[in-house]
């Protein structure tokens, strides 16, 4: 009976994903119904305990603080400043604006971690600049969407902040392990742009002589003014976490204060900007918390009803080598990313498959990091690639959805390549955590 209910939960989840119903309420409702059928009135007590367990987790307060820090950094107007200054640096190269876009997205990833905001801002700043200079539409849109998603992997990543406590891992160690794959993705994106511009010079012309007439000393001074304060905040916050000087929540609180002071220094601190940042924080945090509670209810009853045993029997019953089982799990994550938001995947899949992977002898930190690297693909994988719709919402009418879909394909291939590299060479994920916490 119990195993039948667990299978019914899984089927109901698959059907519900295509209904368009908000996932937080969908998974909570499925879990509650199955719980009452399996355990009667006791299910209500178990539900309260699951919800309280999420809210009492001492790692979650860092989530709204890092979101607020990122929102206040955006208020400073630093994105446009940084883009204009880096444009002068990369301007003489073919594809310079695309390289500038990736560089700015990488910097914002380390400062904000808010994918939707980054993609939207770069769509408003970088896309018009590239279109005015006759950039190939696929390249222009692809680099914005791919670059914007770096924020979900490069610390302080919201995904890492949520994944670590769910899997019982150290946030600091996950932050350390995500640096290399995150910056490797950024470098490979840039390498692809450079190679493409060598093959197709007209796809991304360089800036004209008139547009890059500023002397080098002025360019470097402007770049220092726009980038140095942001670099100090990022290094201070992440450095204090990695070196064990502060817990993630404490470091995020200091970073939030620093971001407010930075907005004051840039003359952008207003009541309206502050309330906008608070609203953004509340909206994203409440969404994440609602999904976390719903997923906790679902997975709690799914596992109690024997769902974890069913999954384990299916995977181990394939009689494949352990690495092949992990490969199947990662392929499933990629497929789920086409239809489900990363947050739902983390909260639903991780509690079920992590014990299985650990029982096969894999390092849980390595597995957690490679899952997070794999989840990058969820933002670029049609049909429900959220970053594509963020960009389409602000793009000019001449940019069609088909242009963006075609533009993300090379970057999606690069993401899958990095997943393979991290699978074949585990030290790409484990070297820095081992070095820092040896």
Q: How far is Cα 79 from Cα 148, in angstroms, rounded to an integer?
A: 12
The first and second tokens of residue 389, run together, are 């719709």
Q: What is the pTM of this model?
A: 0.87
- Checking 205-212 for CB contacts under 8 A at 24+ apart, the result is 205/94, 205/133, 205/134, 205/135, 206/91, 206/92, 206/93, 206/94, 206/96, 207/87, 207/91, 207/92, 207/96, 207/97, 207/133, 211/91, 212/88, 212/91, 212/92
Q: Are 5 and 310 in contact (CB under 8 A)?
A: no
Taking the chain (438 residues) in runs of 10, the rounded mean pLDDT of each run is: 72 72 78 81 76 72 83 78 84 87 89 77 87 89 91 86 86 91 95 92 81 72 78 82 81 86 84 87 82 80 77 76 90 83 81 87 93 88 77 84 89 94 94 80
Residues contacting residue 71 through CB under 8 Å, at least 6 positions apart: 112, 114, 117, 276, 277, 280, 281
Sequence spans of domains, the chain: 2-436
Q: Using the Cα atoms of residue 98, residue 104, residue 106 and residue 109 in order, give the sign of their dihedral.
A: negative
CA distance 204 to 206: 7
What local confidence, expressed as pLDDT, does residue 411 receive?
Answer: 94
pLDDT of residue 165: 85
The structure tokens listed for 124 are 């408003």
Classify residue 244 as left (phi > 0), alpha (psi -120 to 50) or beta: left
Cα 202 to Cα 68, 143, 198, 374, 410, distances in angstroms: 41, 17, 9, 33, 18
The set of residues, in sequence order, having a beta carbon less than 8 Å from that of 54 and lying 6+ positions away, is 60, 289, 292, 293, 296
Those residues whose C-beta lies under 8 Å from the C-beta of residue 283, and which sit 6 or more positions away, are none
Buried residues in 338-359 as b, exposed as e (16+ CB within 10 A): eebbbbbbbbbbbbbbbebbee
Radius of gyration (Cα) for the chain, nearest Å?
22
In this structure, are residues 37 and 5 in contact, taking their beta carbons and an 8 Å threshold? yes
Per-residue pLDDT at 23: 74
What six digits make up the tokens of 407?
């533009």
């Amino acid at each position: 009976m119990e195993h039948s209910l667990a299978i019914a939960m899984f089927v109901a989840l698959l059907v519900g994903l295509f209904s368009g119903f908000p996932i937080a309420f969908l998974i909570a409702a499925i879990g509650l119904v199955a719980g009452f059928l399996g355990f009667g009135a006791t299910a209500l007590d178990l539900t309260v305990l699951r919800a309280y367990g999420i809210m009492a987790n001492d790692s979650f307060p860092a989530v709204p603080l890092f979101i607020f820090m990122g929102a206040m950094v955006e208020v400073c107007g630093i994105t446009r400043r940084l883009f204009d200054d880096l444009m002068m640096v990369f301007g003489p190269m073919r594809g310079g604006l695309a390289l500038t876009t990736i560089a700015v997205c990488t910097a914002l990833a380390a400062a904000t971690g808010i994918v939707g905001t980054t993609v939207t801002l770069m769509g408003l700043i970088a896309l018009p600049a590239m279109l005015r200079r006759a950039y190939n539409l696929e390249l222009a849109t692809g680099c914005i969407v791919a670059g914007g998603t770096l924020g979900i992997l490069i610390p302080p990543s919201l995904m890492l902040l949520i994944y670590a406590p769910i899997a019982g891992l150290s946030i600091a160690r996950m932050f350390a392990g995500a640096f290399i794959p995150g910056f490797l993705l950024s470098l490979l994106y840039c390498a692809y742009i450079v190679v493409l511009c060598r093959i197709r010079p007209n796809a991304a012309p360089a800036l004209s002589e008139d547009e890059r007439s500023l002397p080098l000393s002025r360019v470097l001074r402007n770049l220092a003014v726009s980038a140095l304060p942001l670099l100090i905040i990022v290094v201070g916050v992440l450095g204090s976490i990695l070196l064990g000087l502060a817990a993630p929540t404490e470091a995020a609180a200091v970073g939030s204060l620093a971001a407010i002071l930075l907005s004051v220094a840039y003359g952008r601190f207003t009541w309206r900007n502050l309330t906008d940042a608070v609203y953004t924080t509340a909206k994203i945090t409440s969404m994440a918390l609602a999904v976390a509670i719903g997923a906790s209810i679902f997975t709690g009853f799914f596992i109690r009803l024997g769902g974890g045993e069913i999954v384990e029997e299916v995977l181990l019953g394939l009689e494949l080598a352990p690495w092949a089982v992990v490969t199947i799990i990662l392929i499933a994550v990629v497929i789920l990313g086409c239809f489900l938001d990363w947050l739902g995947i983390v909260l639903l899949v991780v509690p079920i498959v992590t014990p299985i992977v650990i029982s096969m002898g894999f390092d849980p930190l390595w597995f957690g990091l490679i899952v997070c690297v794999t989840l990058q693909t969820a933002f670029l994988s049609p049909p429900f690639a959220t970053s594509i719709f963020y960009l389409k919402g602000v793009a000019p009418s001449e940019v069609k959805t088909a242009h963006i879909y075609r533009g993300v394909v090379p970057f999606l291939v690069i993401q899958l390549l990095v997943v393979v590299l991290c699978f074949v060479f585990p030290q790409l994920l484990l070297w820095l955590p081992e070095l820092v916490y040896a």
